[in-house]
Structure 1
């Protein structure tokens, strides 16, 4: 089988590749740690670890930058990124920013961290900051773009 034939057959199974957020909807990307309670149990000071906090803040900034987001919020092992309303990042595909967000956060947090990510789309008039982004007072940064 030729490589282009193989690639075409592989694409047949990519059922989420064409999934896109509707135009006019806000996209919120949520990233969270997998099995972080076990990781933090072994590596973090209780009740608050400044090193872990700094890493999560750096991870949130990295995801915010890589997705050209408008707003980032980190709490515990979760990061939420609000993309600009008019974003056309990756042609509004859902799969790519979800993948980029998890890998960007994991790259900052190191080899012991496993991150997962998902996207939510919200209509323009239905974007209460909490609970989608949790408490806005805990924001870690704003992008100057978008």
Structure 2
């Protein structure tokens, strides 16, 4: 409850009795109760409105998976670098040969892990004086 333990709550209640006085304390307690009820009602209404707008997909969301405290930048970078490397070297044309991925024999000096090596076969050579193909997406 907001990081307040039982002893601190008792001390705050005693300070409130002393500062406010016994004659105004019931009035302020009633105002606090109305405020808490109003906040709870607003939170419930917002939750219901969100559930109506998003639909049943909201119940299927794994909120623990989306917790930003669980992300480790080193793990994310490692997974991104070791992701399927064939996706990086997609062929330009459907007839182009696919790259061949093999693991390196010796581990790298910095990390001690083996890293993949990629050998991409070259396409057909151009004849002398033949213009290179133009790629609109690359320029």
Q: TM-score, normalised by structure 1?
A: 0.18
Give 1 or 2: higher helix fraction.
2
Structure with higher RCO (Cα < 8 A, 6+ apart): 1
Higher strand fraction: Structure 1 or Structure 2? 1
